[in-house]
Amino acid sequence: MVSQKKYVVGITDHMIGTPDLEADVLGEDVEIDFFASTDETRFDAERLARLDALMVWGARLGPKSIAHLTRCKGVVRYGVGYEKIDLSALKRAGIPFANNPDYGTEEVADHAMAMILSLHRRLWEHDAHSRSYVSSWQVNSLKPLPRANRTTVGVVGVGRIGTAVVNRLKPFGYRILGYDPGQPPGHEKAIGYERAERLDDIFTRSDIVTLHCPANEETRGMLGADGLARLRPGAILVNTARGELLHDLNALEAALRSGHMAAAAIDTMEQEPPGNHPLLTAWREREDWLAGRLVITPHNAFYSDHAAVEMRHNAAQTVRILLDQGRLRNRVTT
């Protein structure tokens, strides 16, 4: 005898196969409606109207879809960011929203740390140039190359991931500045960094700047031409947070070409996959002037085999708690 399904949970799309793990967490009384699309225009109104909860991976969710979620008790995003979710429309519809912040912290922090160490030690530049050395070898050390304990790292956003980065930086001896107006006084003492009262202090005092803040009205485009110009000469920039923080590729190209910036490492871009731009062409074609100075990874700083399971499990568990208890953990309010 087939058990009667009590709830219907929608999943818009999925990066990793079919939602079998989610089905195990949600339980036998839940029917999963898998839309299998990131294209919001393809979401059927009748299917949306059946849902008791909706899980979203990479799809956008706007007013037209939200208007059909007439029995939905909550929307849960698999990831941390929610720029593609219309929170105002959800609020008007009386539907609570939650993200999934408690996964992948270690992975993003490790990824950022790998970028920081590799660019600081100029590993990719050495690798690129070493291919052409024939008559000499060890004498070809690139300069400048300061010690870690003579180098200041500015951390923009000292939340979960930013804090994990600070904890990884300390054993190497880096001087650490942190900027996060959302953290209470004394947070810097508990974690172990020097608090910067202004974002500009991070830009002007740091040899390396690493971004770990959300994209919002205050932070979008903060490293455009003006922001990049305020960086110390020879600075290194690492972005594993949001592509919208650094959306002016013209300014980034100018800063790298002029030498004002030593290098940059980017995991998230405003357009993914990235389109055509002279800077990206130079990166793709390994042009000499940029060799080893621009590192781009495909928005996978969050990923490990363990984190992928953790993310799916945690998001599904959030929905299960909502269905059982009427409580939405990790709720985002505006």
Of 281, 216, 217, 208, the residue nearest 239 (C-alpha): 208
SS3 7: strand
pLDDT band at 227 (very low <50, low <70, confident <90, very high): very high
* 248, two tokens: 């002016």
Model confidence at 102, pLDDT cuts 50, 70, 90, reads: confident
Give the pLDDT confidence of 263-305 residue by residue, as tens digits.
999 999 998 899 999 999 999 999 999 999 999 999 999 999 9
Tell me, what amino acid is at 273?
A: P
Contact 118, 129 (CB under 8 A): no
Given a cut of 90, whether residue 146 has pLDDT beyond it is yes
Calpha distance 248→279 (Å, rounded): 11
| Whole-number pLDDT of residue 108 | 96
Angle between helices 105-120 and 160-169 (to 10 degrees): 40
Predicted pLDDT at 3: 54
Query: Tens of pLDDT along 149-204?
Result: 999 999 999 999 999 999 999 999 999 999 999 999 999 999 999 999 999 999 99
Cα angle, residue 83 at apex, residues 160 and 266 outer, rounded to 5°: 60
State pTM to two decimals. Answer: 0.88
Domains and CATH numbers, the chain: 7-103+305-325 (3.40.50.720), 105-296 (3.40.50.720)
Q: How big is the CA angle at 320 (ends 319 and 321), to the nearest 5 degrees? A: 90
Supply the pLDDT for residue 245. 93
Contact yes or no for 14/34 (Cβ under 8 A): yes
Confidence band of 82 (pLDDT split at 50, 70, 90): confident
Per-residue pLDDT band for 218 (boundaries 50, 70, 90) equals confident
Residues with a catalytic annotation lie at: 242, 272, 299
User: Per-residue pLDDT averaged across 56-81, rounded?
Assistant: 95
DSSP character at residue 58: S
CA distances from 128 to 11, 259, 307 (A): 44, 18, 32
